[in-house]
Amino acid sequence: MIKRRILIVEDDLSICRLMEEQLQNDNTDVCCVPASADALDIFMAQEYCLVIMDVQVSEADGLKMLGAMRLAKHTPILALTSNLKPENRVALLQAGANAYLEKPVNMNVCVAQAEALMKLYCESNHDYQKCCPLTFGTELIISPLYRQIFIDGEPIELTRTEFDLLFCLAQHPGQVWSRSQLYSYVWEDDLGVSGDNTVRAHIGNLRKKLADAGKNYIQNIRGVGYRFIPPALNKKD
């Protein structure tokens, strides 16, 4: 039997323990983590049927993480907040929450809501394998599902070709790709003289857009090709 996994993102350990007691069973594993940048990495490393996370609407980081999770996967997200003013409900839904509950949480309601969300998700039976996003912390998210990239939570508009080039390079951080290899990957054709110039032009446009966002993820290796430098190692020249 394949177990369901629930990720709880909550700083209050007493709440984490209570939820774990209520939700953990023979069919369900529960993982509790504090609300930090590591939570997104943990979310990306496993497939979960549900995320329950404490979101302080007044703090931008909470909504940013919620939005990053929603962009990356279709996993249901149940947001917990201590302030459910109408404008905050709107903010949670716009950021990507499927449902929300006000703290202090009624555990019976929380369990019922969690079960309903997981049931819908598991029955949907979607295949998202080929749409797996690339995430580098919360700084850079590359989503093939939406063919969109986000830098520090802000969308950057790329052409189809620019996106394909970035996605190709980012899948193999640090690996040098020749223009011939990139042309074969993106255009599915052999590189000619015109193809060499085509790759140069599109990479140039892509690097300019990244530079406008203050980033320098693509490094030119003179006479060889290009490589992707992950955000953690990236420093603008």
Q: Give the domain ranges of the chain.
A: 4-125, 134-233
Q: How far is residue 216's CA from residue 76's CA, in Å, rounded to a whole number?
A: 34
CA distances from 180 to 158, 185, 194, 225 (A): 22, 9, 11, 9
Identical fold, 4-125 and 134-233: no
Classify 4-125 by CATH class: alpha beta
- Domain 134-233 architecture: Orthogonal Bundle (1.10)
pTM: 0.56
Q: How far is residue 188's CA from residue 182's CA, in Å, rounded to a whole number?
A: 9
User: Tens-digit pLDDT profile for the chain (237 aa)?
Assistant: 457 889 999 988 899 999 999 999 888 899 999 877 688 889 988 888 999 999 875 565 788 889 889 888 889 999 999 887 888 888 888 888 999 999 999 999 999 999 999 888 877 654 444 445 677 877 888 877 668 888 988 889 999 999 999 999 998 999 999 999 999 988 877 666 567 889 999 999 999 999 999 999 999 999 899 999 998 766 544
**Would you say how long the chain is, in residues?**
237
Q: Which helix (H) or strand (E) holds 1?
A: none
Assess whether the previous peptide bond of 104 is cis (omega < 30° from 0). yes
Please enumerate in sequence order all residues whose Cβ is within 8 A of that of 223, keeping only pairs 6 or more positions apart, or say none: none
